A and B are shown apart, each in its own frame.
Chain A
Amino acid sequence: MLGNFPFFADLQLFPVAASEQAHGIDALYWFITDISIVMTIVIFAGLAYFAWKYHNKKHPHATQIEGSTKLELTWSILPFLIMLIMFAWGAQIYYAAQNPPKNAMEIFVTGKQWMWKVQYPDGTREIDALHIPVGQPVKLTMASEDVIHSFSIPAFRVRHDVIPGHYDSLWFTATKPGHYHLFCTEYCGNQHAGMIGWVDVLEPREYANWASGGASQGSLAEQGEKLFQQNGCSTCHLLDQQGRCPILRGLYNKPVQLADGRTVMADDAYIRESILDPNAKIVSGFQPNVMPNFKGQISESDVIQLIAYIKSLSPSTPASQQGSQQPAVVIAPKAGAAKTGTAVRH
């Protein structure tokens, strides 16, 4: 067992930095760590020096001193000012981490005991693995089917909790091709330590090759369209006529007036809630208790597909153009891409 002494050969002391965010966080990390090291040395040295210089054998009489308000203020205010730098710098990074750029490629991740299900807009699915192109901002929209999980990629220095009941997201831009760990970092039960996988960052050409492997079931939106039919949504939400239910064409990311007077944005979270808890928000002019509640019948990963379909019904949003989820590089046309084009023109 411990005959495996070679494990010391694998010893790493600092993680690789493979994203733009990582460099920023590492800089702040070293700032805090360096100051910590300095402070630690100051205290240790102070203790050691006083212990030596005022050792009772050498210094038998202690001088009684009350204190020094000036010193107290100095060593309270100065450290606090340094902490303010840490605070502000950290806040800036945190803010940036919550605001992905508009051109971020969106990938959907569903956490469930004890695996990560990854869904790409073109319909590809993976479990416990993520393939992304280098240099392209990527936004992960995440949902949990059961308990609280937390998605992290240490090499990118990204992490966010995934909490059942709503969507959470994080974003990054990978800078270095490679093979990196992804972990669940919120204890979620028995196989929490098994809820791990790999992120592969690929050069553009390799990524294109991987992507062209493509989904046989069609893009995410196409899969969503199938679900839309299978679950009877189309009987009410007739795309071009107003039935008993609000029209879905052109709905995505537009404001919606509710019966109680509020106006909300029809974003991913709104659509998710409309499927899983329809009576939570009733659109003005419509009745409660008409739409069935699909909680328990439609999983979070299925909801993601339905949302992709509904997004595709809004021609003005970039998300509807499935082809644009790929980076700006010429790729061999694939069967899926042609189909997607057709879907948009319905």
Chain B
Amino acid sequence: MATLVQRSPEVEAEEVNYLNVEHGWKSWLLTTDHKRIAVLYLISITLMFFVGGLMAVLFRINLLEPEGLFSAETYNRLFSMHGIVMVFFFLVPSIPATLANFLIPIMVGAKDLAFPRVNLLSWYIYIAGAALTLYAVARGGVDTGWTFYAPYSSTYSNSYVLAAAFGVFTAGFSSILTGLNFIVTVHKMRAPGMTWSRLPLFVWSNYATGLIQVLGTPVLAITLLLLAFERIAHVGIFDPNIGGDPILFQHLFWFYSHPAVYIMILPGMGVISEIVSCFSRKRVFGYNFVAFSSMAIAVLSFVVWGHHMFLTGESMYTGLAFSILSFMVAVPSAIKVFNWTATMYKGSVSFDTPMLYAFGFIGLFTIGGLTGLHLATLGTDIATHGTYFVVAHFHYVMVGGMVMAFMGGLHFWWPKITGRMYPEAWSKFAALIVFIGFNLTFFPQFILGYLGMPRRYHAYPPEFQALNVLSTAGASILGIGYVIPMVYFIWSLRAGPKAGPNPWGAAGLEWQIQSPPTTFNFDETPVVTEEAYNYGPLEEIVG
């Protein structure tokens, strides 16, 4: 490049975008731009992910030896904090607060979410909750499990139950506000011509997620408060000594926590719809069915909570009802899996990293979902409840499913969010490592579970050692698989090749604007005339 003082504008001018439009702490900490808030969230949840992940690596190391390597107390606090941090501070906010926060306004053709200041407030509330929880961790943690069952948590535990419960309580409000914002945005901020049936499926998924967040999380809030009151006053409504019922706690807790798992998976499903269509160059097969399946999951998710309580002495009728409903909620998820697969039929498939993660998701979510059938079935739940079978099931759907979707989405939209590309060879390698490490970690746990090894055990009978060793080996590999993207993503911010507006040639409003976008997304309000995923005119309308 010439050393002229006068530089030619085309070469040097960097586009003004939401990242460089302003600098300084205040411009970030007092921003109302949904994209900056999404970045703030991304940094926060990544930190929490590694905190929770470190705990997992530590307790898996403990499980190398049948007698355990650490004390029982340490182990119990590690697994509890792992669950709390991962569920409430990583999985629940993950895609909604980061990718959806970033993309939903753009995808509906708006300049921001409906309530930008509420969006910022939700991040501060998240930080407050995280701080309270990390305080609990620093002081020694809580040992009740992420499920906080009474009366252990209300009366017997000597750990930092109140701090952890209030941390989670606080984070819940962050989730409620995010969901509320999405609901109002999708209803009221769609650009002209953007009808409901033209919305990207990612928007449908996050809208359904918002509904669950708004309806379910308040019940968690009151449940944790009731627990906290009981712990403070040393008397309460869950105390069997005065006629209270610990099972009431479980009903209230799971009334939120079951829908919560759909908060955790629906956004991931939305990401997969976007990725599969782009990398098959095709509309998603059965758009209407996929969109409505998100809504069906949201509704049905509220009536299955009792399947966590089949062995508590529920009546036969209760068991029957929750079992049949749990099978019903599996159907919409199955519909999605079939539709994504069918999307590739007669498509034009490429294997960029996001698509590799999508393949991983579809395969692993299928396995995870199918093993849910063993748990929904009353007879087999007797043999699998409270064992590693359950642990394997939910890690297949949450890690093999949701985290893979998150990674896929992060890779897919990274050029849009940052204006840079990540290195493809490294990203493919990391995806492979994650897939191998994940399966090695969690597949042995299905076997361990049916053999009878209970969950939350710091020590175990020696004949279970081989499978535990395999699982720990897998966990180390999985950990490496997650560290590699951290490294190259950060590297790419400075040294990655610059990305244009649409490096994938994808359909969607977000790919029509520059990378990274400007603060207000669109220079002019877009007018939408096409359906989503319009990669070409419809050629086959199979009846």
Give me the interface of A with B, judged by CB distance under 8 Å.
1-2, 4, 7-8, 10-15, 24-25, 28-29, 32-33, 35-36, 39-40, 43-44, 46-47, 50-51, 54-56, 59-72, 75-76, 79-80, 83-84, 86-87, 89-95, 97-98, 113, 146-148, 150, 152, 154-155, 157-161, 163-166, 168, 181, 183-194, 196, 277, 280, 295-296
Contacts and interface: CB of A to CB of B under 8 A. Distances in A.
A67 B460 CA distance: 51
Given A7-B466, A67-B288, A163-B247, A181 B331 contact: no
Given A43-B337, A71-B542, A161 B286 contact: no
Given A148-B149, A158-B382, A192-B457, A2 B535 contact: no
A92 B379 contact: yes
B542 A184 contact: no
Contact of A87 (B73, B143, B323, B351): B323
Q: Give me the 3 closest cross-chain CB pairs, A-B, nearest first.
A: A154-B452, A93-B379, A165-B240
B244 to A, nearest CB: 8
Contact of B374 (A29, A67, A76, A188): A29
A312 to B, nearest CB: 27
Given A71-B342, A163-B246, A36 B370 contact: yes
B76 interface: yes
A190 B359 contact: no
Contact of B373 (A62, A83, A296): A83
Contacts of A83: 327, 330-331, 373
A47 B341 contact: yes
Interface residues of B, number: 106
Given A163-B313, A193-B458, A32 B542 contact: no
Interface in B151-166: 151-152, 155-157
A113 B452 contact: no
Contacts of A55: 349-350
Contact of A189 (B68, B157, B344, B451): B157
Contacts of B452: 15, 152, 154-155, 181, 183
Given A71-B342, A148-B149, 17 more contacts: A2-B469, A25-B379, A56-B350, A64-B539, A65-B283, A67-B285, A71-B286, A80-B327, A147-B151, A157-B383, A159-B385, A163-B312, A164-B246, A185-B455, A189-B143, A192-B457, A193-B68
Nearest to B541: A66
Given A28-B377, A47-B359, A91-B319, A62 B465 contact: no
Contacts of B241: 295-296
Given A39-B366, A90-B378, A94-B310, A64 B458 contact: no
A161 B311 contact: yes
Interface of B: 64-65, 68, 72-73, 76, 143-145, 149, 151-152, 155-157, 240-241, 243-247, 280-283, 285-289, 310-313, 316, 319-320, 323-324, 327-328, 330-331, 334-335, 337-339, 341-342, 344-351, 359, 362-363, 366-367, 370-371, 373-374, 376-383, 385-387, 447, 450-452, 454-463, 465-467, 469, 535-543
Given A29-B380, A161-B313, A66 B540 contact: yes
A193 B460 contact: yes
Given A94-B378, A280-B243, A59 B347 contact: yes
